[in-house]
């Protein structure tokens, strides 16, 4: 008997069932009798946060977000990052990282696009495979997520994504299929939503037929947090692990279901075996000391993150002002200049070891004496958090009665409570709390005081109620849709005067995800005079680095964007600054595209995403030319939101209506859509400038085997035609004309990131298999390579494809599913 079988045989029914749900928020309990240790998981994906709540806790290395890695188009780099993340995960005493996220950029407004790689399934799948290899080759399990159809944050815990099978197979399941087959992840997380009416955690076809049956997946399947809804259906569908714990639908309920014959003994054993297999893979059956969580700020991680930030930065426009001339006087302006935007919001967030802002990076690169500064305007979604200290008293009732159960100090007016809190004394879902602190106004005038909470809350200043998220509390788009929208109160304050702040909070029943939290902020809004001041600073400089964009309040799990306009008065600021100084370099930090009405007025645009803790250093390295802008767009940047396939008067198409979101555009997502409708994007998929130029040439296609077995070998060269060393991404697309089903004009089928010195030529070879030419036939339930004419095109973006070659086939190839 092998090790797994003998462990299973030795287990009692209770022990088997205990492996199928979390014990607490982040772990599955040990089976001490058999020497099986606790299994611990952690988020994921741009770092390993550890087991605290989303805020505070032991610090971690913060790596570039998913979309930045998508922009790197660099599987080697992503594999290396996976390796570093394995070290980070170990430093948090965990065995699995809840990553990578491979949902597709369907709508430009999806709040979680920053965490996902791309609008293209092949790019997403290959990067995910590299990431998983990096983790697992170093002993840490990956958990690819969220399977499947979670492309929006609106009502994500209940909505049904209505996606036809061909679209699923060709677009939304494909990144999972590629990564599962290439890298065998140890874990996979189902999504919150329903897929065609059925919760994905109950979805037999998805989990058992496709994932395990066709793709031969041999890892565990876990639910998203509070994303499983049944006992019998989920276990029978193939969902091994209900997370988090303590269990809601398993434990005794599952034991009874087995006794009643609703779940067979074989099924229970299969689920327990999957968990045991994971335990063996992660080494948990060996004696281990439970390590404490520690911050492990390593120089090699710092260097890797700094390099990766530059490798993912996409230079969208350059009239020649970049790289910056170091001798000149530079004005650094904008809301993102001195605030380091290093990551998006939600479960991917962590407490980073440190955060380098663009200002910090430019000061180190150029010296402060060459720089001027102005903020110009703000771009926050919520009022900036009130800094403490605050003393907080917790009561184990919801009426602030009796003596507090626990008292502690918080450093700011922001909290995220899960599981048991305050040294285990309080249930995060049932308590009241009172926070007290002081605020000294810096300016005279009207201030905005904001509060939002998952739970009920009120803010008082000097005993006066100023902001109320209690009386008319209504579900909004904060705290994963468990919180209300921000409630704002206006107050006149005097500069230099100290005010007493008191916040009252009490929990309320949760809707889908068991958590509580609040955030309270204050500011005096910036106005015309602040833009004018920035214009003055810009006018007296040789060039301007204008740092604009969004932040993790906008690009976040739990809510989508209402538009892709730059928030606040940032468009006005760019317009005003570029009117007085055409040498304006816009450094954009967002989790996706924005409309750029000012594009013709500025000298350069660098899209820097959320690149991790070294943000400002990576950005400065690119601006001064120490490194190439190595990124290419993993998502089309449309001219306007209205050009996106999901923009529709029909709310069922987006963001969903009556519990349904219809993926009406089918396979025409991203560039497949813009190509089909001949819509010129602002910047196409795959696009990005370097500081040198490249040309592709010498296309050679070996199609000898094409008719027989659908295999084609493509050779080409790429030459550095400029005068400095640099890199590019060579992209290969395939399209079929006159297909028997409606197909995208072209689809990415291979790519390679290359670097070369001036004049150097690099020879490339791409091997295409039949799937590179196939569509999914729902009539045949097979992949089919049609007869007819196919075009292979090669170049450096989806609209810059100077080389092409036509192939024809006379017969059909059918590729079975298994
Ligand atoms: C997210 C997952 C995450 C989990 C645990 C959920 O809200 O959707 O991606 O891993 O929380 O934090």
CA dist 252 and 18 (Å) reads: 10
| Euclidean distance between the first and the last CA atom of the chain, given in angstroms as a whole number | 29
Q: Over the stretch 615-639, which tens digit does the pLDDT of each residue have?
A: 999 999 999 999 999 999 999 999 9
- The DSSP H or E segment spanning 499 is strand 498-506
Q: Over the stretch 533-586, which tens digit does the pLDDT of each residue have?
A: 999 999 999 999 999 999 999 999 999 999 999 999 999 999 999 999 999 999
Statement: residue 52 has pLDDT above 90:
no
- The DSSP H or E segment spanning 127 is helix 121-136
pLDDT of residue 51: 87
**Shortest-distance Cα residue to atom 3 of ligand 1:** 347
Q: Hey, which of 41, 43, 157 would you mutate to test ligand 1's pocket, going by the most ligand atoms within 8 Å of its Cβ? A: 43
Return the higher-pLDDT residue of 263 and 286: 263
pLDDT of residue 498: 97
CA dist 137 and 133 (Å) reads: 6
3 state SS of 506: strand
CA dist 738 and 572 (Å) reads: 47
What value does the mean pLDDT take over residues 594-614? 98
Return the minimum-mean-pLDDT range out of 84-88, 288-292, 420-424.
288-292
Return the higher-pLDDT residue of 284 and 245: 245
Tell me the DSSP string of 696-765: EEEEEEE-TTHHHH--EEEEEEEEE-SSS-EEEEEEEEEEEES-SS---S-EEEEEEEEEE-TT-EEEEE
CA dist 115 and 544 (Å) reads: 30
Q: What CA–CA distances, in Å, run from 64 to 57, 69, 308, 637? A: 20, 6, 7, 20
Statement: residue 142 has pLDDT above 80:
yes
145 lines ligand 1 (CB under 6 A): yes
What value does the mean pLDDT take over residues 175-187? 98
Answer positive or negative: Cα dihedral of 554, 156, 41, 178.
negative
How would you classify the pairing of strands 775-777 and 782-785?
Answer: antiparallel
Answer positive or negative: Cα dihedral of 53, 424, 36, 235.
negative
CA dist 105 and 111 (Å) reads: 10
Q: What CA–CA distances, in Å, run from 200 to 247, 514, 638, 699, 807? A: 18, 19, 31, 44, 40
pLDDT of residue 290: 60
Statement: residue 422 has pLDDT above 60:
yes
Q: Over the stretch 497-533, which tens digit does the pLDDT of each residue have?
A: 999 999 999 999 999 999 999 999 999 999 999 999 9
Cα angle value 26/28/30 (rounded, 5°): 135
Structure tokens of 263?
């779940």
What value does the mean pLDDT take over residues 477-492? 96
Show Cβ contacts of residue 763 under 8 Å, excluding neighbours closer than 6 positions. 715, 716, 717
Given a contact cutoff of 8 angstroms between Cβ atoms, the answer to whether 69 and 81 are in contact is: yes
Given a contact cutoff of 8 angstroms between Cβ atoms, the answer to whether 746 and 708 are in contact is: no
pLDDT of residue 212: 98
Catalytic residues: 224
CA dist 566 and 570 (Å) reads: 6
Q: How confident is the model at residue 399 (pLDDT cuts 50, 70, 90)?
A: very high
CA dist 119 and 635 (Å) reads: 5
For residue 747, the cross-strand partners are 734
Radius of gyration of the chain (CA): 27
Measured in angstroms, how far is the CA atom of residue 224 from the centroid of ligand 1? Answer: 6
What's 454-488 look like in SS3? ECEEEEEECCEEEEEECCCCCEEEEHHHCEECCEE
Q: How confident is the model at residue 288 (pLDDT cuts 50, 70, 90)?
A: low
CA dist 437 and 294 (Å) reads: 30
Given a contact cutoff of 8 angstroms between Cβ atoms, the answer to whether 342 and 352 are in contact is: yes
Kindly report each contact of residues 406-411 with a partner whose C-beta sits within 8 Å and lies 24 or more positions away, as own/partner: 410/435, 411/387
**Shortest-distance Cα residue to atom 4 of ligand 1:** 225
Q: Hey, which of 25, 97, 141, 225 would you mutate to test ligand 1's pocket, going by the most ligand atoms within 8 Å of its Cβ? A: 225
Q: How far is CA 533 from the centre of its chain?
A: 36
Q: Which residue has the tokens 């958590």?
A: 515
43 lines ligand 1 (CB under 6 A): yes
Measured in angstroms, how far is the CA atom of residue 713 from the centroid of ligand 1? Answer: 41
225 lines ligand 1 (CB under 6 A): yes
347 lines ligand 1 (CB under 6 A): yes
98 lines ligand 1 (CB under 6 A): yes
Tell me the DSSP string of 337-363: TSS-----BSTT---BS----HHHHHH
Which atom of ligand 1 has the smallest separation from the CA of 191?
A: 8
Statement: residue 291 has pLDDT above 80:
no
Q: What CA–CA distances, in Å, run from 784 to 120, 123, 509, 710, 713? A: 20, 22, 51, 11, 19
Statement: residue 56 has pLDDT above 80:
no
pLDDT of residue 750: 98
Q: Which residue has the tokens 């398993």?
A: 250
Residue 320 burial by CB count (10 A; 0-12/13-18/19+): exposed, middle or buried?
A: exposed
What value does the mean pLDDT take over residues 416-423? 89
Q: Over the stretch 737-751, which tens digit does the pLDDT of each residue have?
A: 999 999 999 999 999
3 state SS of 330: strand
Q: How confident is the model at residue 792 (pLDDT cuts 50, 70, 90)?
A: very high
Show Cβ contacts of residue 32 under 8 Å, excluding neighbours closer than 6 positions. none
Strand locations in 580-725 (E): 584-589, 604-607, 660-662, 694-702, 712-720
> Dihedrals φ, ψ of 550, to 5°?
-125, -160
Measured in angstroms, how far is the CA atom of residue 371 from the centroid of ligand 1? Answer: 41
CA dist 256 and 241 (Å) reads: 17
**Shortest-distance Cα residue to atom 8 of ligand 1:** 224
> Dihedrals φ, ψ of 635, to 5°?
-145, 135
Q: How far is CA 348 from the centre of its chain?
A: 7
Show Cβ contacts of residue 270 under 8 Å, excluding neighbours closer than 6 positions. none
CA dist 802 and 719 (Å) reads: 14
Measured in angstroms, how far is the CA atom of residue 53 from the centroid of ligand 1? Answer: 12
CA dist 419 and 425 (Å) reads: 11
**Shortest-distance Cα residue to atom 12 of ligand 1:** 347
Statement: residue 285 has pLDDT above 80:
no
CA dist 660 and 307 (Å) reads: 42
Measured in angstroms, how far is the CA atom of residue 812 from the centroid of ligand 1? Answer: 43
Q: How confident is the model at residue 289 (pLDDT cuts 50, 70, 90)?
A: low
**Shortest-distance Cα residue to atom 9 of ligand 1:** 347
Which atom of ligand 1 has the smallest separation from the CA of 98?
A: 10
224 lines ligand 1 (CB under 6 A): yes
What value does the mean pLDDT take over residues 95-113? 98
pLDDT of residue 89: 96
Statement: residue 3 has pLDDT above 90:
no
For residue 556, the cross-strand partners are 345, 559
Which atom of ligand 1 has the smallest separation from the CA of 150?
A: 8
Bin 569: left if φ > 0, else alpha if -120 < ψ < 50, else beta. Answer: alpha
What value does the mean pLDDT take over residues 805-810? 96
CA dist 681 and 678 (Å) reads: 9
112 lines ligand 1 (CB under 6 A): no
Tell me the DSSP string of 401-431: -SS-SEEEEEEESEEEE-SEETTTTEETTS-
CA dist 792 and 801 (Å) reads: 10
Which atom of ligand 1 has the smallest separation from the CA of 101?
A: 9
Answer positive or negative: Cα dihedral of 552, 681, 119, 61.
negative
DSSP 60: B
Which atom of ligand 1 has the smallest separation from the CA of 347?
A: 12
Q: How confident is the model at residue 287 (pLDDT cuts 50, 70, 90)?
A: low
Which atom of ligand 1 has the smallest separation from the CA of 54?
A: 12
CA dist 694 and 726 (Å) reads: 9
Q: Over the stretch 226-265, which tens digit does the pLDDT of each residue have?
A: 999 999 999 999 999 999 999 999 999 999 999 999 999 9
Structure tokens of 58?
């032991």
44 lines ligand 1 (CB under 6 A): yes
């Amino acid at each position: 008997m092998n090790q797994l079988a003998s462990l299973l045989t030795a287990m009692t029914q209770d022990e088997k069932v205990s492996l199928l749900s979390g014990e607490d928020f982040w772990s599955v309990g040990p089976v001490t009798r058999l020497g099986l240790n606790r299994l611990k998981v952690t988020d994921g994906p741009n770092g390993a946060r550890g087991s605290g709540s989303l805020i505070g806790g032991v610090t971690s290395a913060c790596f570039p977000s998913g979309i930045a890695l998508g922009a790197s188009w660099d599987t080697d780099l992503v594999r290396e990052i996976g390796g570093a993340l394995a070290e980070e995960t170990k430093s948090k005493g965990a065995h699995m990282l809840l990553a990578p996220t491979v949902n597709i950029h369907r709508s430009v407004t999806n709040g979680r696009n920053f965490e996902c790689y791309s609008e293209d399934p092949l790019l997403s799948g290959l990067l995910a495979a590299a990431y998983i290899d990096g983790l697992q080759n170093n002993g840490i399990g990956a958990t690819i997520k969220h399977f499947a159809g979670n492309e929006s944050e609106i009502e994500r815990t209940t909505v049904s994504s209505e996606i036809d099978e061909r679209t699923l197979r060709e677009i939304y399941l494909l990144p999972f299929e590629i990564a599962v087959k290439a890298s065998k992840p140890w874990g996979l997380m189902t999504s919150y939503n329903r897929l065609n009416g059925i919760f994905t955690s109950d979805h037999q076809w998805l989990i058992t037929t496709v994932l395990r049956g066709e793709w031969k997946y041999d890892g565990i399947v876990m639910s998203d947090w509070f994303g499983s809804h049944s006992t019998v259906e989920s276990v029978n569908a193939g969902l091994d692990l209900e997370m988090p714990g303590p269990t809601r639908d398993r434990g005794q309920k599952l034991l009874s279901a087995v006794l009643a014959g609703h779940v067979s003994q074989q099924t229970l054993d299969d689920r327990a075996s999957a968990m045991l297999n994971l335990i063996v893979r992660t080494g948990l059956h060996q004696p281990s000391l439970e390590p404490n969580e520690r911050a492990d700020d390593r120089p090699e991680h710092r260097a890797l993150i700094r390099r990766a930030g530059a490798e993912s930065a996409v230079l969208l426009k350059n009239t020649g002002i970049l790289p910056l001339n170091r001798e000149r006087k530079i004005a650094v302006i904008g809301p993102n200049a001195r605030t380091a935007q290093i990551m998006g919001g939600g479960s991917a967030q962590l407490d980073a070891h440190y955060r380098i802002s663009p200002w910090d990076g430019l000061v180190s690169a150029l010296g402060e004496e060459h720089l001027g500064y102005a903020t110009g305007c703000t771009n926050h979604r919520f009022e900036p958090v009130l800094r403490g200290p605050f003393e907080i008293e917790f009561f184990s009732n919801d009426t602030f009665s009796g003596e507090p159960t626990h008292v502690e100090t918080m450093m700011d007016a922001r909290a995220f409570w899960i599981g048991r809190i305050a040294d285990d004394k309080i249930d995060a879902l049932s308590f009241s709390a009172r926070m007290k602190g002081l605020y000294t106004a810096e300016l005279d005038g009207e201030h905005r005081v904001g509060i939002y909470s998952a739970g009920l809350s009120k803010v008082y200043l000097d005993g006066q109620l100023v902001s109320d998220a209690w009386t008319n509390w209504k579900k909004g788009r904060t705290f994963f849709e468990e919180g209300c929208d921000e409630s704002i109160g206006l107050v006149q304050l005097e500069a230099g005067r100290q005010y007493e702040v008191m916040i009252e909070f009490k929990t309320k029943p949760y809707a889908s995800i068991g958590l509580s939290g609040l955030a309270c902020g204050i500011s005096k809004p910036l106005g015309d005079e602040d833009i004018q001041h920035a214009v003055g600073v810009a006018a007296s400089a040789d060039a301007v680095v204008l740092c604009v964009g969004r932040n993790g309040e906008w690009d976040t799990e739990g809510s989508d964007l209402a538009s892709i306009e730059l928030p606040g008065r940032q468009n006005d600021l760019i317009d005003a600054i570029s009117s007085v100084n055409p040498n304006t370099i816009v450094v954009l930090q967002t989790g996706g595209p924005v409309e750029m009405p000012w594009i013709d007025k500025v000298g350069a645009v660098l899209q820097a995403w959320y690149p991790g803790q070294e943000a400002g250093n990576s950005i400065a390295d690119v601006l001064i030319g120490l490194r190439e802008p190595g990124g290419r767009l993993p998502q089309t940047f449309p001219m306007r939101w209205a050009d996106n396939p999901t923009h529709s008067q029909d709310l069922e198409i987006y963001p969903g209506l009556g519990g349904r979101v219809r993926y009406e555009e089918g396979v025409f997502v991203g560039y497949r859509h813009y190509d089909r409708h001949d819509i010129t994007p602002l910047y196409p998929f795959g696009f990005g400038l370097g500081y040198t130029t490249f040309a592709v040439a010498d296309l050679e296609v070996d199609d000898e085997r094409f008719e027989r077995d659908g295999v084609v070998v493509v050779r080409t060269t790429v030459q550095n035609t400029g005068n400095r060393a640099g890199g590019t991404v060579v992209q290969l697309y395939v399209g079929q004309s006159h297909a028997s089903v409606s197909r995208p004009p072209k689809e990415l089928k291979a790519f390679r990131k290359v670097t070369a010195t001036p004049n150097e030529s690099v020879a490339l070879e791409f091997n295409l298999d039949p799937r590179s030419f196939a569509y999914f036939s729902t009539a045949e339930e097979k992949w089919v390579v049609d007869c007819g004419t196919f075009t292979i095109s090669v170049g450096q973006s989806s609209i810059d494809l100077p080389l092409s070659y036509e192939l024809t086939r006379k017969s059909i190839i059918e590729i079975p599913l298994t």
